[in-house]
Structures are given as C-alpha cells and as structure tokens.
Structure 1
C-alpha cells in the first residue's frame, strides 16, 4: 500500500513538473510559442475592396510561407483568413477571437482604414503585431501608432505626393473632391488638398459619399458645376471604378475636366478596361512589369490566381516574408523581440528595394507614378501602365518626426 501511495505521489509530481516545464517553454522569451507561427489575413473578401486585396492577398501570404520553407525556427507556419466586411466591430471581434482562442501571432493586410485602426488598437492591448498592407490612412503611423503596428505598402501621403503632385505640375491647379465617407477618404482628401495648396493650387469644393454607393450622379454633377480642373476621387476599389464610368456618362472628361484616381491599382484598371481607364494617372508601390524581379513574382502569382498582382497583393507577400525573417533573427516569436527586429532589418526584395522601417512603423520605400496606356499601346495582357517616374521613399512618405507618433522622439 505504501509503495502504491509513493508511486502515485511520484507520478503526480512528475506530471506537475512536466506541466510547469511546458508552461515555462510556452512563455519563455526564446523559441516559438504554441509550437507554431500563425498569421491571420483579415480583409474584405466579398465587398467593394474584394479585388483590391481579397482572397488574392491570402494566396500571396501562402506563397510567402511556402517560399520561406513552411517552417521558422523549426516550427510550422499557418495562414488563416477571414472577411471583415469593412466593419470595424466585426474585425475587432475576429481579431480578439484569433488572439484569445486560436493562437494567432500576427494579423496582416487589413484593407479599410477604419478596420485597420480598430484592429491595431486590439493589437496594442494584446501585445500582438499587425502589418497593414491594404489600408491607407497615415494615422496608423501617426496619432494611432503602437509599438506593434507596421504600415507596409503605401499610404495617403504617398498617394498625395505622387498623383496629386503630378497633376498640379501638369496645370491641374484647381480641385474638387469626391470623398469616401470614412477615415481613409478624409485622410486622402486632406493630404492631397494640402499638397495641392502648398504647390500653388486651390481647393474649390468637396462632397462625401457613402462607402459602396452605386449612384454617383448627384456627386458628379456638383463636381462638374464647380469648374475645377481636376476632380479628385478620394475613394478606392469599385467606388472609384463606378465613379469613373459614370463620369464618362456625364461627359466630365469630354468637357475638359481631369479625373485623379487617388487610389487606383492594377486590379481596378483590369476590371474597368483600358478603353475607360486610359490616360488616368495613379500611384502604386509595385508594378508587375517593372523589371525581372517584379515579373518573376508576378508569373508565380498569376499561375495561382489567374491575375497579375497589385501593390496590396505583393506588399502582403513582402510583409509576411519580413515578419518570418524577423522571427528568425530574434530567435523567438515574442512580439517585443520581433518588433525590434522588424525596425532594425532592411527590407530588400522584389517589392521594396532598400526599404527601411521608421520608428513609427512606417516602411519607407520607393513609389511609382504610372499612367494607364491607351488600348493600342498595350502589347500583352495586363500590360496597362507606363512608368512616368520613380518617387524616392523619403519624398513619398511623411517625415516620421512630423507624423504625430509618440514613439518618435
């Protein structure tokens, strides 16, 4: 009987010791927690921005994991994804569930600025990393910056400098804005307007429209009657495409006004077609036909998705890859250690050449000013852009010291 009691005591003590060891390993600063690295891609997969990022961004993330070898620090890497429906409350709930019950280590893509701001706030609370490639507002690396938040592919400042700057130089010195009625639209209108005014232009008016509206007639009539030389479309995705289509019906460009698609990518040009999109000036952080490195990624992406990537898709691949490299460098998936590594490491891949991460989390890299070709100028499928200029990263992005981020001192 004594032997039985002793054996039971030893067995239970050993079990407690093993459990304690496992718990210590789980929370230890070195190694991978939960014996895996789990990345969530959270974006619009069914709405107005579904082509802008959507399921194609999920494929880009999976490609990055496969090209990395499927493991980091000897542990497997998993991608999960969800549709946030462009609703911050839904996105926040998904983020909390992922962090609290599904062992997700980082969330990426986050199309829609209001969503990205909400999820970044959750990440700050939970001490989890987010890398935004789909949203545009500079608030992410400004007043809403966090030690765990990063902004990767582009932002409203870069779009304003690129497209806004180009059109002012070409004589477009009076503007009227059609603006999406949420954080992204406000930010894009303000920063483009500020840039236009600082360049000697003027803003003659603006009107705000609901996200995912289908009827732009009243907004376009106001733009037309304003007499502005440039109608700035401070929106994105299907909203921009629909506005361009309806502007043609109202004869806006035929009447001499120019349209500025302030956030327009290859995906939207493809959906609209060259006949309708020709002549538009836009800014992207990546173009598939830029050089051999860009084409190499695009060819693999096309084989999986049957479409060429835009800056959101390619930026997501870059962000996932850099996150995994940071885990490898840090020797752990601990968020503080990985954040430190992300700030220290240069970003040098097909997406960003010599990119750097500033103290506010902004990844600074070159942007490209592009013009949509006429149908007769396109030599092959998806050959849609002429590269007008390369905008150096330091010109494209806001000085971190002026961003309003408390982390920059």
Structure 2
C-alpha cells in the first residue's frame, strides 16, 4: 500500500509540474538596437543586458510567464530594421520590440507593429512625432524625446543669456526635429536662430561644418546630433578653439557615456537634460551597480535604464492581461495602471498618446576636481516635473487624444 501511495504521489507531482509548465504564458521580446555603430555605447549591448535584468527581476516575483529574449542589429538602416522586425513578428512570434536606435526606424516600424497588433517601445529613438501625428495604440515612447530635451536645455540656456544660436544638425528625422523644437524655444524666449548646417550620420570630419558655425558669430552652437557625432563635434570644436574664442557648445542630447568618452576636462560646464542619473538615490545606485558588473564597469545611460523599466512594466501588463497576443490590450493595461512608482524614474504614467511621463533633470557636467568617484559627472541644477517635462497632450495632434 505504501508503495502504491508513493507512486501515486510521484505521478501527481509530475502531472502538477506538467500543468504548471503548460500554464506558463509564452512571451517573446526583441531588442532591436545599434549594436556596433555610433549609438551602441548608450544603447546596443547595454540595452540587451538591461532587458535581461528586467526579465530576471520579473521572474523572481512571478512564475506565470515564460519569457524569451532575442536581439538584432539594425545598423541604423530602416530597410535592415524593417526586415528584422518582419521576420521576428511573422516567423518567430515576437510580441514586443524595444529600444529602436533611430527616429526614422521607429516611425517606420510603428505602422508595421500596429498592423500586426504587437507592441513597440522606443527607449532610444528621439522624435516626438511618435506621440504626435504618428501615434498608434501599439506604440509607447519611454525615457525622453526631442521635445523634452530641446525644451529643458534650450530654455535654461536662453534664460541665462545665450540668445543667439546656430545649429549643427544630424541630417535625419531626429536631428531636424530637435533643431526645429529647440529653435522654437529659443525664439519663444526672445532669442534668435542665425542659421544651421547639417551633417550625415556618423560623419568622419566635422571641420567644414564647425567652420560655418564659428563664422556665424553665434553665442551658442546647438548640437542637434547624438552619440559619436556629438563626441567628435565637441573634440573638433576644441581643436578649432571655438569655446576658447567665446562661443559655447550645447549638447541637446548627451548621454553619460558621451561625457565618459570626452572626459571631464573637455566636457565640464556642459548643460544637458536627462531622464535618469545613476547617482540620484539608493534605487538608481543599486541598479547601476548591478548593471555595471555585467557591462564592463559602465553605469547605465538613460536609454538603457529606460529599456529595463519599460521591459519590467510590459511584463507586468502581460501578466495582468493574461497573454501577449493582443498588443493594443497590453498597452491599454499599461496606461490603465495609472501613476506608478517606477524603480528608476520615480512617479511615472502612460498617456493616451503613448508618451510615458516622469520627472526630467537639468544637469551640469562637473569640473574634474569636483568628481569624487567613477562616473560622478553631474550636478543636478533643477528637477523638471513630469507635467512640464514633456509636450502637453493637446499640442501633439495625436489622433488618439482627440
């Protein structure tokens, strides 16, 4: 009898175990990023690691989902990104695509994801059009955008006397949008835009572009570009003696990785707007320490922090909905969650246009002698509250908000 009971218990355990395994809901996430190009340092492999950390943290508290993660290198080309996304969605059952390296790619994929009823979460691409005329029920814009950064930085600079601007602009959607939005802020606050010059993505030589900016006699040269383009422009400007000559460089989108690459000697005094800084509080510091151990000692950029937070919030919404197949329903669940306490961004909410809102920070890069530890780079000048940090809902012309 004991033998029979033991056998029955073993069989029951096996059956229950099998039931648990079957009960797990499959979810597949694709990190589509710049894995080796000009934006790879602040997104790329680090964003992939951030997504892994989010999945691990979610699984630590829930066993209801079976989460698979894949990654792809978009190479900052819309055709390559589109091909990867279509293969993922149509042949490999990917439910959500995250990171997205450039604005053009994000805008191109938004329609595809809507048509397939999946989810797109942009944590690196900047264009505010994602939550404007191009908004969809399936797209979320996490972390930052061109509006938040152009307004936060440009407004502060103009109010401190930087009235005459000239723009050095990356010649694609992100750069041109950033230039327009920052220029509007400059003019609205009594300043003037003297002109602009555009350069290709991953430009090899900034000499001619900076000579034009220098010749403009503008007080402020606004850098409407990102990644290695921003770094190389700042380095070349130093070689030309532009800052020594009295003109000031303003990076409209700078990541902590850019400051690290430049060094505090070259970057000190720069002002910028950021959604995340690793040394803000105990939660941001704890995450940064975990992340750095798996990312060659580097702390997370705001985009990488956004990938972590967005992945975690997405998985919680899938768990609530019960499956990942209806992307619009999952996004609606994220929106309906109301204001929540995000571990890295604090009080956070998802608007109907897909804009994720939270506080932003205006920071100034420290002088070398002010830095007391690795990556101790920023002084927080001001906290920009969530209701002022992003474009007002009524101004975006998102059809979902009308």
User: TM-score, length-normalised on structure 1?
Assistant: 0.90
Structure-1 residue corresponding to 2:335: 343
Q: How many Å separate the matches in 2 of 1:71 and 1:387?
A: 34
1:381 is aligned, of 374, 378, 381, to 374
1:336 Cα offset (Å): 2.7
Structure-2 residue corresponding to 1:154: 144
- Structure 1 residues 142-196: Cα deviation after superposition (integer angstroms, max 9, x where no partner): 1111110000000011101211111111100110000000000011000000011
1:317 and 2:344 matched = no
1:50 Cα offset (Å): 0.7
1:52 Cα offset (Å): 1.8
Q: How many Å separate the matches in 1 of 2:62 and 2:179?
A: 41
SS in 2 for 1:36: strand
2:184 is aligned, of 172, 194, 199, to 194
Q: How many Å separate the matches in 2 of 1:184 and 1:335?
A: 26
Confirm or deny: 8 A CA contact 1:150 1:363 kept in the other structure: yes
* Residues 224-373 of structure 1 mapped to structure 2, 5 A cutoff: 224-305=214-295, 306-333=297-324, 334-345=326-337, 346-373=339-366
Q: How many Å separate the matches in 2 of 1:390 and 1:372?
A: 15
Of stretches 329-338 and 89-98 in structure 1, the one that deviates more from structure 2 is: 329-338
Structure-2 residue corresponding to 1:111: 101
Q: How many Å separate the matches in 2 of 1:250 and 1:336?
A: 51
1:350 Cα offset (Å): 2.6
SS in 2 for 1:407: helix
1:349 Cα offset (Å): 1.6
1:117 Cα offset (Å): 1.0
Confirm or deny: 8 A CA contact 1:71 1:77 kept in the other structure: no
1:398 and 2:391 matched = yes
Q: How many Å separate the matches in 1 of 2:155 and 2:129?
A: 21
Of stretches 146-155 and 387-396 in structure 1, the one that deviates more from structure 2 is: 387-396
1:278 Cα offset (Å): 1.0
Q: How many Å separate the matches in 2 of 1:125 and 1:89?
A: 18
1:76 and 2:87 matched = no
SS in 2 for 1:178: strand
Confirm or deny: 8 A CA contact 1:234 1:263 kept in the other structure: yes
Structure-2 residue corresponding to 1:57: 47
1:209 and 2:199 matched = yes
Of stretches 207-216 and 74-83 in structure 1, the one that deviates more from structure 2 is: 74-83
Confirm or deny: 8 A CA contact 1:43 1:109 kept in the other structure: yes
SS in 2 for 1:69: helix
1:124 Cα offset (Å): 1.2
Structure-2 residue corresponding to 1:5: none
2:166 is aligned, of 171, 176, 193, to 176
- Structure 1 residues 76-130: Cα deviation after superposition (integer angstroms, max 9, x where no partner): 1111101000001110110000001111000000011111111112101111101
SS in 2 for 1:223: helix
SS in 2 for 1:146: coil
Q: How many Å separate the matches in 1 of 2:92 and 2:255?
A: 33
1:72 Cα offset (Å): 5.8
1:382 Cα offset (Å): 0.6
* Structure 1 segments unaligned to the other structure (5+ residues): 1-25
The root-mean-square deviation of aligned C-alpha atoms, in Å, is 1.4
Confirm or deny: 8 A CA contact 2:42 2:300 kept in the other structure: no
Q: How many Å separate the matches in 2 of 1:75 and 1:63?
A: 15
Deviating 4+ runs (over 6 angstroms): none
User: TM-score, length-normalised on structure 2?
Assistant: 0.92
1:342 Cα offset (Å): 1.1
Q: How many Å separate the matches in 2 of 1:390 and 1:373?
A: 17
- Structure 1 residues 215-268: Cα deviation after superposition (integer angstroms, max 9, x where no partner): 111110111110111000000000000000000111110011110100001011
1:223 is aligned, of 199, 213, 216, to 213
Confirm or deny: 8 A CA contact 2:98 2:307 kept in the other structure: yes
* Structure 2 segments unaligned to the other structure (5+ residues): 1-21
1:347 Cα offset (Å): 3.6
- Structure 1 residues 335-357: Cα deviation after superposition (integer angstroms, max 9, x where no partner): 13212101112342232221111
